[in-house]
Chain A
């Protein structure tokens, strides 16, 4: 049976990622853990942006829900099961996303962007100012949790991250990806894309525009929380800077870098950004400038991102053949 193109990409990608800890030093494997967090968060973000057409500049707030949620559930309440933490933070983020999204999806474009930015920064100032609750700018500690009920006590932090947790996160990404693939290719996903392309016409075809925008917002919040929990676990700390508006901007950067018009684009973007940032940071202290220049280059010249570039090359080669 001939596999569809996407399946080949997915399997190949997963295989490469699975082999990485075996061939690369533990440093790289543990570097990839945040990539998994961002990749999952971006899958959700792109449901909202690439598939529904809503650009949120406050999405990092849901990363914060994940990280701080993990700190609260595991640190404050002592529930050490990461699975339980994931479920709880996802539910919490989706619950918060309901009223926030309800208010925000009444608008589109720049107003939606500004509203989400405002909510994101509102959350940030809450985390920052109410330091009795949230630790202020020192953040909240995220203790080490058990995955699948196992403690892996004999592993130190780097070893743990490089092996068991790495594969755990890879599995999470695969599951999250499969789920999102289903969603995007469902009747629900079709209606989202119709909303993105022409909301007014969609209304006339009985598409429930506002309700579906809200649904996309809520789902993306859940994915964001999972990503944030992974990030919090990895760093061991939930930090208010995770929620600052420039972090939201970074998420958008990653999505556009990879190519937001494609399912795999955001994942590619997360990977590219993680590796790029790491390499650049060791090359120069002015890595932000280079990243900014890359973003500018993409916006001006390659709006399809890395995946768009790759597809363009593929098409050109097919035509030449």
Chain B
């Protein structure tokens, strides 16, 4: 039982980060029907930039207590890449899905060298300043408060997104556009702007997730391409286009990873792929998605 609580919190922490990225993916897919292979690149960008940002901020005298909000700000600042990338992707809306995948794959390749250029080939990490938030320790486990704060942030985001989508007028506009673009346009919705906003929101969710993760993990070149797979596993398991699915999928993937890391290291990612394949075969809509035609 010693490891149990640690594994649980570790899994939920990982799930929190996964949820943020997956929520972004779901939003973009739900509204624009685009599958964004570069989501891992946004994540890595957030991680790298988070480290640089905190570095500068600390040197400029920022209090170490502000690390968490600092990282969030770093993530949000990166939102500026959203509109131009969305503009680029606009050329493949309505074309064969293969072209979408390829264009976002091209972005992955380009981002890899951008990271190499700005931050070099070696992994970067933050020092352990984040421990300033303290650690909750007991006989059985020890978990940094920072991790709990991130989990709380993810929950807050989930609630916020849910409220945005279900309870605001803009949320209704988003859902309408997702449901039927032509109708929405006919009803006066500026679909182009909606797409731009949604994509930027998705990007920000991804970059912020990456930024939040760096106190506990290093930013590396591999991050971008490895994370894509996990993010997709979450989206597939939860169901393409479903926010609640992103939550469910993230929890499942996060916990499985945490447990198998300890119990069956060989099976770690294998287990996830097997579940993805199983879900795709028996319930391609995912646990909470809409049925596939």
Contact = CB atoms under 8 A, between A and B. Distances in A.
Tell me, yes or no, whether A and B come into direct contact in the complex with CB atoms closer than 8 A: yes
B270 A125 contact: yes
B266 A55 contact: no
Contact of A115 (B37, B91, B105, B277): B277
Interface string A266-300: 00000000000000000001111101110110011
Interface string A108-135: 0111011101110110011001100000
Contact of A245 (B225, B233, B276, B280): B225
Interface string B256-270: 000000000111111
Interface in B77-101: 88, 91-92, 95, 97-99, 101
B145 interface: no
| Consensus secondary structure, chain B interface | helix
Given A107-B284, A122-B273, A130-B266, A299 B110 contact: no
Contacts of B88: 296, 300
B280 A111 contact: yes
Interface stretch (A15-23, A229-237, A246-254): A246-254
B113 interface: yes
Nearest to A113: B101
B232 A293 contact: no
Contacts of A57: 101
Given A129-B266, A252-B105, A293 B229 contact: no
Contacts of B95: 303
Contacts of A288: 109-110, 112-113
Nearest to A130: B266
A89 interface: no
A256 interface: yes
B116 interface: yes
Interface in B53-106: 88, 91-92, 95, 97-99, 101-103, 105-106
B152 interface: no
Contact of B270 (A49, A129, A286): A129
Contacts of B98: 49, 55, 113, 252
Interface residues of A, number: 41
Contacts of B99: 299, 303
Given A288-B113, A300-B91, A129 B103 contact: no
Given A292-B107, A295-B106, A299-B99, A126 B292 contact: no
B182 interface: no
A103 interface: yes
Contacts, number: 122
B270 A289 contact: no
A122 B112 contact: no
B274 interface: yes
A288 B107 CA distance: 10
Given A107-B280, A125-B269, A295 B102 contact: yes
B97 A125 contact: no
Q: Find the residue from B92, B101, B284 having the highest chain A CB count within 10 A.
A: B101
A76 B102 CA distance: 38
Contacts of B2: none
Contacts of A119: 273, 277
Q: Find the residue from B35, B91, B98, B99 having the highest chain A CB count within 10 A.
A: B98
B109 A121 contact: no
Given A121-B269, A245-B228, A252-B101, 9 more contacts: A49-B98, A103-B277, A117-B232, A119-B273, A119-B277, A122-B273, A125-B269, A249-B105, A289-B113
21 contacts: A55-B97, A55-B98, A103-B277, A107-B284, A110-B35, A110-B97, A114-B236, A118-B233, A121-B229, A121-B269, A121-B273, A125-B269, A129-B270, A246-B225, A286-B116, A292-B109, A292-B112, A295-B102, A295-B105, A299-B92, A303-B95
Interface of B: 35, 37, 88, 91-92, 95, 97-99, 101-103, 105-114, 116-117, 225, 228-229, 232-233, 236, 240, 265-270, 273-274, 276-277, 280-281, 284, 292
Q: When A and B form their complex, which 10 residue pairs have the shortest distance between CB atoms, in order from nearest?
A: A292-B109, A289-B113, A292-B110, A295-B106, A296-B106, A122-B273, A286-B113, A55-B98, A129-B266, A292-B106
